[in-house]
Structure 1
Amino acid sequence: MEQAKASSEDQSSQLTINEAQASHKQGGWITFPFIAGSVFGLGLAISGAMSNFIVYLIKEYNVKSIDAAQISNIVNGCTSVSPVIGAIIADAYFGCYPVFAFAIVINSVSLVLFTVTAAVPSLRPMPCSLSSDSCKPASAGQLAVLYAAVALLAVGAGGTRFNSATVGANQFDKAQDQEVFFNWFFILLYAASIIGATAIVYIQDRVSWALGFGLSAGIAAIGAVVLFLGSRYYKRPPAQGSPFMGLAQVVVAAARKRHITVVALGTVTFYYGTSSDLVANAKKQVPSESFSFLNRAAVITRGDTTADGSVARPWRLCTVQQVEDLKTVVRILPLWTTSAFISVSIGVQGSLTILQALTVDRSLGRFTVPAGSMLVSSLAAVIVFLALLDRLLLPVWHRLTHHTPTPLQRIGAGHVLNATAMVASALVERKRAAIVRRHGAESQAGWIVPMSVLWLVLPLVLVGFGEALHFPGQVGLYYQEFPQALKSTATGMVALIVALGFYLSTAAIGLVRQATDWLPDNINDSRLENVYWMLAVLGAVNFGYYILCAKLYKYQRAPNNTEDTKN
């Protein structure tokens, strides 16, 4: 019996060792080539398909130029907000890897459908000259197929954009390795976007739309295959539940206990969680006085807890930590709203710049710059300026001032550069419009303005410099300030800003068209200069609002800066 027992224990020990060894083989840098390959392929494919979407609508679907810009902004808004939903679904129900794997397949399917719309003539209206006023619009059926492809692309983006980064970060246990992964993740993503917005867009413009979309579909499929080849190496943490559920419970619990008076809160008992929760949190925390009405959610009343101290009714009782987590989010919301206008101006400028590019001389020697590739200037500027910040500007600043700029300071500098970029766009458009007026009757729709496309690059570069400051600054602020349970959703706040910006930019263009005559269908008859001046003025006002919010904001966690902890 003793020998049998010893033998059983040996076998159990051996199984434990084998499981540990098997677990040890999962994760780490061995997974990087597979995840990086899928991210690069997917970024290249989607950038190649969507960078030229405005031109595709105008040339192949006979959509008016301003309408095409508005449609493009709506599509960009959908593909920006869907990743937030995808991240929540992954966290709450399925885990990141299954959602990422499913979504990368959906992306491939959507790009195949885009290819079909370009390859089958019956799925598009009859070709029409840009200068014609009698173009036949696309039918409901033709638009249904196109928008089905767009909808699938939005679903695919929802499951890949954030979850791909999370899947990669999950493979590493050390924070240093995670930081290195994120650096390479963004480098690969931006590089892929640049290649897609140049090489594939050039093929679409100069060879055929079907070949361009087909290449995107093929590259996306290759990215999916690369991801699946590394499946056995991935760590796959299970779903942990959405942290937003806890925030919603605080709101509901506080509302249900609204009859508890604030004066009585000093004499009541607050709920801090079970004994294990208290050990994890190390100490009890008295609820803060700000937004004190939310403290009601943590007040223990009859029937709220069970005999072992756990919560009996989660939608009526929350921990003090849950209440403080919600307060942190509420405090930061005013700062978050100030960044929404930045995305609005970027969205308007990006779509209108493409329309401007269609009217000017895009030839550089023997090469003709595709209009859809113009936004590459902004992407390249982000990469260059981030490198300069990391290796030159920030180290020099630290040596001169003995402190590193805080997230709020970086965001503020981004606001200034963004408003400056709108001024630059207004001045460039003034030059283009002056040339148009000099040529008088010649300047009809389809006429090429004798002005180099390089004039449009400077404002985009300034926007890129601003993005390199304010978007990373926002991610750093949210990650630093948000509670532990919400760390994984910090980048989601930025995505919501981008999505909101695209939606509002569509509304802004529509409002300008209704209230003024600045944006007719013929760009050469427009007053784009006024639109850019309007964005510059509103950007300056928004910067003033940001300064006020930044002055009033108090860091909940001191930034990595010992000399400047206010703004």
Structure 2
Amino acid sequence: MEQDMVERKKGEIREGDQEKWVYDSSVDHKGSVPLRASTGVWKAALFIITIEFSERLSFFGLSSNLITYLTKVIQQDLKTAAKNVNYWSGVTTMLPLIGGFLADSYTGRFSMILISSVIYLMGLGLLVMSRFIPSLKPCKTDECSHPSRVHEVIFFLAMYFISVATGGYKPCLESFGADQFDDDHPEERKNKMSYFNWWNFALCCGLVLGVTFIVYVQDYVSWGVADLILAIAMTITIIIFYFGKSFYRYRMPQGSPLTPMLQVVVAAIKKRHLPYPSSPALLYEVPKSQNSRGRLINHTNNLRFLDKAAIIEGNEQLSPDKQPNPWRLTTVTRIEELKLILNMIPIWLTSLTFGTCVAQTATFFIKQSSTMNRKISHHFEIPPATIYTLTAVGMIIAVTVYDKILVPILRRATGNERGISILQRIGSGMIFSVLSMAVAALVERKRLSIAHEEIIQGGKTGPVSMSVFWLAPQFMLLGVGDAFTLVGLQEYFYDQVPDSMRSLGIAFYLSVMGVGNFLSSFLITLVNHITEKAGGKSWFGKDLNTSRIDNFYWLLSAMNGLNICVFVLLARRYSYKNVQRSHVEVADSRVGDGLEMESMA
């Protein structure tokens, strides 16, 4: 009877304590343990999603029309302009690795976002000044053959300010938003799964407005007015983000996350001759009450060589007052964190072919649209880049259907709280990339036949009569693939990295897209060399009408199909992060000790 009363009181206090406070190593804006009712979850995440919408509006509004600005306003030749766009895109893609590392190690995510906000506003401010201050304008008159050198310098300085700011924004905004949900709380954990879906919904809304409304203002009203709109929108959302600071849950930086991993390798090498212990329970781990670096991770049997770093030798005296030399003895959690990173490498590598497919949307897909009939009516013709919105539309529809319809059904069918596992979601999206490339090949083949009839044989100039909306299926299919694979990759790289590396985890996801772009360029160069040497005619001619881009699409489709087979094998053997739930057990210990003292009294 007494034992039942003890267990009942334990459960009541455990449940009440868990509902009142958040025990996930986060703090509130005062540095205290956060109250669950007044911090985090959607009331905090919405502030962060708002600034992401504004950032994507600015980024896509500027990047999608950047080559147009360089060729029409600064009057660079196409080759130079394309090279400058590639340089800027490459820098923008790789800087998040630095921004994520600095945020995790030293500044924290909130501070990095504020620093990036200031730099972003400086960039947008310089763009506005370069269009409205007479001495900084490209030309003193409406038309000139040699734009001002000062304007060119200010313009590139502004764009690289934005690039640096994006390097801080991208790894921190999304991970900071996900930090607002407690993994150890069942309801908040489910909300976090939905968070990644709605994050991308906001991202797509910013993308759609950027490549439609902002591009329209740039082309038909004024570049300066468009820059001013972006600067005002960014200022408003930064203010909104800052005023949400009392609602946020913060993760404190804990120094470089790379040092503990190097310590594991060094310790394992030093103890390489020691035999494995008879049980993993004999490996060194700090008690939960002494752990200050976040959650503990359970031992796994893969990469067993690293386990030797946690073998306790006879001459290593352990006590609560004296910590062991981490270069000689490390904890199981530190070892498992390194295993997590090493296990990610094959998943990262097999995601690159999907990134290569995504790269086609901003290059060959857009180039196809520029050669097709884009008229909606006799008086209105959509810009070539605007067709890119179909990818965002496909993603928005797929994310909504997945989150609101498929996930509840899959949860009941599989018993998995996610519906399907993260890697199953990623693999499902890869199937859509195969279909998208196959459809793109068929559509391009039809476009080539019409171009041959109308232009090469008929002598017609300008676009072919084929409607640009023939491209809709390939854009939409890739958008659906993005909803599964890109969102899944975001969740995977946030969830499966060590808790101290989550900004860097999002940067790893972004690097998939960046390396995918570089891989696409390398593949084009390689295919161009092989086809030119083998058949005397390259697949990539002077223009699309003399090229065989359809064959290139078939190649990408086949590569992705083979890649899926490898990915499935890796996914079936993958071991997910297995975290110990510590706060409940701490509550149990506290309750048990209190009841024991009452009984003794």
1:92 paired with 2:101, answer no
Q: Please name the residue that 1:292 is paired with.
A: 304
Correspondences of 1:98-497 after superposition (within 5 Å): 98-115=111-128, 120-121=137-138, 145-169=154-178, 176=187, 179=192, 184-230=198-244, 236-255=250-269, 257=270, 260-261=272-273, 263=275, 270-273=283-286, 276-277=289-290, 288-300=300-312, 308=320, 310-365=322-377, 366-396=379-409, 404-440=419-455, 447-478=462-493, 481-486=496-501, 490-497=505-512
8 Å CA contact 2:434–2:561 kept in 1: the answer is yes
Report the CA distance between 1:555 and its aligned residue. 4.6
What is the CA–CA distance in structure 1 between the aligned matches of 2:166 and 2:525, rounded to whole Å?
26
Q: Please name the residue that 2:12 is paired with.
A: none
Q: Please name the residue that 1:562 is paired with.
A: none
Q: Please name the residue that 1:527 is paired with.
A: 548
Q: AA paired with 2:267? A: A
SS state at 2:363 partner: helix
Q: AA paired with 1:98? A: S
Alignment CA distance shift 1:293-1:118 (3 Å)? farther
In structure 2, stretches of 5+ residues that fail to align are: 1-29, 533-537, 580-601
Q: Which of 550, 565, 569 is 1:548 aligned to?
A: 569
1:537 paired with 2:558, answer yes
Alignment CA distance shift 1:337-1:21 (3 Å)? closer
What is the CA–CA distance in structure 1 between the aligned matches of 2:552 and 2:468, rounded to whole Å?
20
SS state at 2:466 partner: strand
Alignment CA distance shift 1:518-1:72 (3 Å)? farther
Alignment CA distance shift 1:297-1:453 (3 Å)? same
Report the CA distance between 1:153 and its aligned residue. 1.6
What is the CA–CA distance in structure 2 between the aligned matches of 1:370 and 1:523, rounded to whole Å?
18
Q: AA paired with 2:555? A: M
Q: AA paired with 1:204? A: Q
SS state at 1:364 partner: strand
What is the CA–CA distance in structure 1 between the aligned matches of 2:441 and 2:82, rounded to whole Å?
18
Alignment CA distance shift 1:58-1:239 (3 Å)? same
What is the CA–CA distance in structure 1 between the aligned matches of 2:461 and 2:74, rounded to whole Å?
16
Correspondences of 1:73-88 after superposition (within 5 Å): 75-88=88-101
8 Å CA contact 1:358–1:371 kept in 2: the answer is yes
Q: AA paired with 2:462? A: W
8 Å CA contact 1:474–1:494 kept in 2: the answer is yes
8 Å CA contact 2:197–2:403 kept in 1: the answer is no
Q: AA paired with 2:55? A: L
Report the CA distance between 1:368 and its aligned residue. 1.9
Residue correspondences, number = 528
What is the CA–CA distance in structure 1 between the aligned matches of 2:279 and 2:249, rounded to whole Å?
48
Q: Please name the residue that 1:132 is paired with.
A: none
Alignment CA distance shift 1:284-1:291 (3 Å)? closer
What is the CA–CA distance in structure 2 between the aligned matches of 1:26 and 1:399, rounded to whole Å?
31
Using structure 1 for the length normalisation, give the TM-score.
Answer: 0.79
What is the CA–CA distance in structure 2 between the aligned matches of 1:153 and 1:43, rounded to whole Å?
12
What is the CA–CA distance in structure 1 between the aligned matches of 2:59 and 2:297, rounded to whole Å?
49
Q: AA paired with 1:356? A: Q
Q: Please name the residue that 2:522 is paired with.
A: 507
Q: Please name the residue that 2:19 is paired with.
A: none
Q: AA paired with 2:164? A: V
Alignment CA distance shift 1:497-1:127 (3 Å)? farther
Q: AA paired with 1:154? A: S
SS state at 1:374 partner: helix
Q: RMSD between aligned alpha carbons? A: 4.1
Report the CA distance between 1:116 and its aligned residue. 5.5
Q: AA paired with 2:109? A: C
Q: AA paired with 2:362? A: G
Alignment CA distance shift 1:445-1:494 (3 Å)? farther
8 Å CA contact 1:103–1:156 kept in 2: the answer is yes
What is the CA–CA distance in structure 2 between the aligned matches of 1:472 and 1:548, rounded to whole Å?
21
Alignment CA distance shift 1:116-1:501 (3 Å)? farther
Alignment CA distance shift 1:518-1:213 (3 Å)? farther
What is the CA–CA distance in structure 1 between the aligned matches of 2:259 and 2:198, rounded to whole Å?
32
Q: AA paired with 2:488? A: G
Alignment CA distance shift 1:53-1:262 (3 Å)? farther
Q: AA paired with 2:115? A: F
SS state at 1:261 partner: coil
8 Å CA contact 1:60–1:127 kept in 2: the answer is no
Report the CA distance between 1:27 and its aligned residue. 4.1
Q: Please name the residue that 1:564 is paired with.
A: none
Q: AA paired with 1:433? A: L
Alignment CA distance shift 1:50-1:302 (3 Å)? farther
Report the CA distance between 1:351 and its aligned residue. 1.4
Alignment CA distance shift 1:441-1:213 (3 Å)? farther
1:377-399 deviation digits (Å, cap 9, x = unpaired):
11111110111122334445566
What is the CA–CA distance in structure 1 between the aligned matches of 2:268 and 2:32, rounded to whole Å?
48
What is the CA–CA distance in structure 2 between the aligned matches of 1:271 and 1:113, rounded to whole Å?
55
What is the CA–CA distance in structure 1 between the aligned matches of 2:444 and 2:366, rounded to whole Å?
13
Correspondences of 1:552-567 after superposition (within 5 Å): 552-555=573-576, 557=578
SS state at 2:230 partner: helix
Report the CA distance between 1:405 and its aligned residue. 3.0
Moved more, 373-382 or 387-396: 387-396
Q: Please name the residue that 1:52 is paired with.
A: 65
8 Å CA contact 2:171–2:505 kept in 1: the answer is no
Moved more, 209-218 or 430-439: 209-218
Alignment CA distance shift 1:26-1:140 (3 Å)? farther
Report the CA distance between 1:327 and its aligned residue. 1.5
Report the CA distance between 1:213 and its aligned residue. 2.9
Using structure 2 for the length normalisation, give the TM-score.
Answer: 0.75
8 Å CA contact 2:201–2:399 kept in 1: the answer is no
8 Å CA contact 1:34–1:227 kept in 2: the answer is yes
Alignment CA distance shift 1:208-1:508 (3 Å)? farther
Correspondences of 1:10-89 after superposition (within 5 Å): 27=39, 34-61=47-74, 72=85, 75-89=88-102
What is the CA–CA distance in structure 2 between the aligned matches of 1:548 and 1:20, rounded to whole Å?
45
Report the CA distance between 1:297 and its aligned residue. 2.6
1:87-136 deviation digits (Å, cap 9, x = unpaired):
32122111222211110121122233445666722699x989xxxxxxx9
Report the CA distance between 1:547 and its aligned residue. 2.5
Identity of aligned residues (%): 28
Alignment CA distance shift 1:547-1:67 (3 Å)? farther
8 Å CA contact 1:305–1:311 kept in 2: the answer is no
Q: AA paired with 1:526? A: S
8 Å CA contact 1:329–1:482 kept in 2: the answer is yes
